[in-house]
Structure 1
Amino acid sequence: MALFIRTIIKYILVPIGIIYAAFNKSKDEILILMYHRVDDDVKRELAVTRRDFNWQMNYLYRKGYNVIPMDEAYFRIWEHSIRGKNIVITFDDGYEDYYTNAYPVLKRYGFPSIVYLCPGYIGTDKKYWWDKDEKHARLMQWKHIYRLNQEDLVDFGSHTMTHVDMDKLKREEFDTELGMSKRLMEDRLNRSIRHFAYPRGIYSKFGEEALGRYYDTGVLISNGKKIDKECNICNAYTLKRIPILKSDGRYLFIARIKGWLVLEEVIRKFIMSYRTGRRR
């Protein structure tokens, strides 16, 4: 019922978004899509179904979207060369269903993607706190990551060592959560780890400053900055991502990438700012 209500509310918001988009249309932009899980057995908003995920990737393929890796997105921001409609596909947390369900679809369409990992959980029996009562919450092990590391279409980024909120960290803890995460993955995978995702999209000014010592980019959620021709290297650590949710299904996925759910983004940003303010 909750899923149905969310879907109906989003459909109600779409007409407002269509009007807004008509006056704020950008021909040249990079949209970063944020996924977490592709699993039919998980009933949460952050888990899209296999069927919907395949449809969404097929839609991007049919409509000729240019799906690019995060490295190329960073290069285009740096060079001020954002042209056309570009998509970056990201996955957070490193669930095993990325390996079993998502990557085979991405490979079929030749789409690159980046997975943001918390190496403090890899190779352990630990679950994320929100998965305490979730039966289907297996994370990728190093054996899965090693195999994916051989694929040209897969990149990895850091999501801190232990998925800690950035505004909870003391200054002396940043090297552990940001630096150790990077060093451990680089040692394991023999590749550069250049990109970072803020856990839960929670931003802190000192966190942004600390990122500059380790990474080239940092991605938020609705509280990030839109990537278009006005974007520049100064905000590469606060890039906007678009969350793709179970209740989006197919047609609301189209609405998301066309910018028709902008009012929902405003509401989400307000709630996130309010929660962050209360935590301080």
Structure 2
Amino acid sequence: MSKLVIKAIILSVIGLCIVIPSLYAAKSSVIYKDQVAVIMYHHVDDEAKSSGTVTTKLFQDQLALLKNKGYQFITLKQFKEFMTGASVPNNAVLVTFDDGYESFYTNAYPILKSMRIPAVNFVITGDLEDPLASYIPSMSRDEIIEMTNDTNFIDLQCHTNGMHQKLPDDKAMLVGRIVTNGIKETEEQYKQRIVNDTAQCVSKLSELYPEPIDTYAYPFGIYDKLSVQYIGQGGMKFAFTIVPEMATRDLDPFQIPRINAGNPAITPEGLENSIKRRVVATNHPFNEVDLTDTMSQLGGKAALSGNQVQIQYQNVHWTGTINSQNLTALPGGKAIHLQKPLILKNKKVYIGLNDLETVLGVQLVYNPNSQSFSVRQTPVVKK
């Protein structure tokens, strides 16, 4: 064997030794842990055009990119176990669909099956009676039975039995009160309507599918305290919203956020960036923060004039002084006592993170990817 050939082989081996570890590192890198990106779709179709429809190619490309980047897809069962204390893989993703369209069976399911990616579809069970009657055809009972018998990673859950619509006053049926012949339903009638509708959804899916039916997606993402209470009485233990945040274990299980992936303008790279922008640092190191920078990130303002500190957020103003543990809200003059004094370091004003949350009346989360704070919309359950 010539020296040139031997040299070429050696260089090739060295090259592989360099490339393979780097590829493995890219695939196994930890983007986030102990949280889940729940992504949301509705309709996968190559002919229909709408803001809630993606093509089969875009759907497959989105999932392929996430998979190649090291995201790990989990089942609904794993997600529910996570919410009650279990661990999940790093970079966990749960795929969800709303509405129970037949396109899930014909277009999305073959892709999910070939890629071994779990998913859950929230079904309007009233449509099971005549699946082809709706504007967009729905899945049939036979199609649901086929998918769930053929795999162990496709879930079907509740999107109401017959309440995925708006009332004449434009309120969602889940939260509005029905008026019949000029008479508005009583609060007891409203309660029974929600409880019974939820129980019907559970009953119909339970006939097709052996797994627990205890998870809900709110129609139009609209809900309130009473509707949450009543779907719980109907058998629900978890419910999903359309608030675009990461799901962490400390959130209200009836207000689980989801990140939209089902818009035709969302590229595979755009979807990953959307997830990365919402990653939560579960143990960030900050006890105090730069007030001006943080308020700018939150859409507010903070300024220092002499010894006076001015804060503005959503049309409310506060004023205080350096080394003081008090802020005064304007208008009204209400005094807020801080746990730590406002301090000046390197010409920047610092405030305790817990104090800032108290002042603004919000919970703040830190994103390590963007190194910035944001206001969390989904409420945390106090332990």
Q: What range describes the TM-score normalised by the shorter chain of this pair?
A: 0.7 to 0.9
Question: Alignment identity in percent?
Answer: 25
**Unmatched 5+ stretches in structure 1:** 1-24, 132-136, 267-272, 274-280
1:38 matches 2:44: yes
Between structure 1 and structure 2, the one with the greater Rg is: 2
Determine the C-alpha separation between the residues in 2 that align with 1:28 and 1:188.
33
Point out 4+ residue stretches in structure 1 off by more than 4 angstroms: none
Q: Which residue of 1 aligns with 2:238?
A: 217
- The structure-2 alpha-carbon separation of the partners of 1:254 and 1:149, relative to structure 1 and needing over 3 Å to count, comes to same
Q: Which residue of 1 aligns with 2:143?
A: 144
Helix, strand or coil at the partner of 1:183: helix
The secondary structure found in structure 1 opposite 2:84 is helix
Give 3-state SS (helix, strand or coil) of 2:270's partner. helix
Pairing partner for 1:208 from 228, 237, 241: 228
Matched, 1:126 2:144: no
Matches of residues 178-257 of structure 1 in structure 2 within 5 Å?
178-213=198-233, 214-222=235-243, 226-228=246-248, 231-232=249-250, 235-244=252-261, 245-257=263-275
**How do 1:50-199 and structure 2 match up within 5 A?**
50-79=56-85, 81=87, 84-124=90-130, 125-127=132-134, 131=135, 137-150=136-149, 151-162=151-162, 163-164=164-165, 165=172, 166-168=174-176, 170-199=190-219
Aligned length: 227
Q: TM-score, normalised by structure 2?
A: 0.55
> Equivalents in 2 of 1:28, 1:74: separation in Å?
13
Q: Cα distance, 1:145 vs. partner? A: 1.0
Higher relative contact order (CA 8 A, sep 6+): 1
**Offset at 1:26?**
5.2
CA distance in 1, matches of 2:64, 2:32: 23
Equivalent position amino acid for 1:249 in 2? T
Q: Which amino acid aligns with 2:147?
A: L
Q: Alpha-carbon deviations, 1:177-236, whole Å to 9, x = none?
A: 21111112112334421211111110111111123231221000117x6423xx33x611
Q: Which has the higher helix share?
A: 1
Normalising by structure 1, report the TM-score: 0.75
Higher mean displacement: 87-96 or 161-170: 161-170
Q: CA deviation at 1:40?
A: 1.4
**Counterpart AA for 2:53:** A
Which region of structure 1 is more displaced relative to structure 2, 197-206 or 25-34? 25-34
* Separation (CA, whole Å) in 2 of partners of 1:204 and 1:69: 27
Give, in angstroms, the shift of residue 167 of structure 1.
1.0
5+ long unaligned stretches in structure 2: 1-30, 166-171, 178-189, 280-298, 300-376, 378-383
Structure having the larger proportion of residues in strand: 2
Does the 8 Å contact 1:61/1:109 carry over to 2? no
| Offset of residue 160 of structure 1 | 0.3
**CA RMSD, aligned part only?**
2.3
Q: CA deviation at 1:59?
A: 1.0
Q: 2:339 is matched with which residue?
A: none
Aligned-pair CA distance for 1:49: 0.9
